[in-house]
Amino acid sequence: MDVGDVDAKATRLSVPIGTSPTEDGITAALLGKVPAAARPVLAKFLCALLKFYVDLAFTYLEINPVVVTANGEVAALDLAAKVDLTAQFDCAKMCALIPS
């Protein structure tokens, strides 16, 4: 299988610390190749995912692939995440709410 140069093909959106992108901004910057019907639900998911990432002090989060189902739900088929020890301590109550 040849996946090519993923870094060269990846679309990126830089989000400065202390800011949050809008769904419209995410759609414009990242979702140009996504079918139009899936863009709103995916943009909403990405906004919520970024908030989750920041609120729980993640240091790394990768989802590959993520799909939008025929009924408009987002499904992360594979996910890898890291939280450092300080964040694990600081966010213990919130992390306890996440199903494993």
Q: What is the pLDDT of residues 12-40, one digit of tens each?
A: 899 998 999 999 999 999 999 999 999 99
- 49: how many CB neighbours lie within 10 A of its CB? 16
Band the pLDDT of 75: cuts 50, 70, 90: very high
Please give the sequence-ordered ranges of beta strands (E in DSSP) within the chain, or none if there are none. 58-63, 66-68, 74-76, 79-83
Alpha carbons 43 and 21: distance in angstroms, whole number? 10
What's the pTM?
A: 0.81
| Length of the chain (residues) | 100
* pLDDT of residue 98 exceeding 70: no
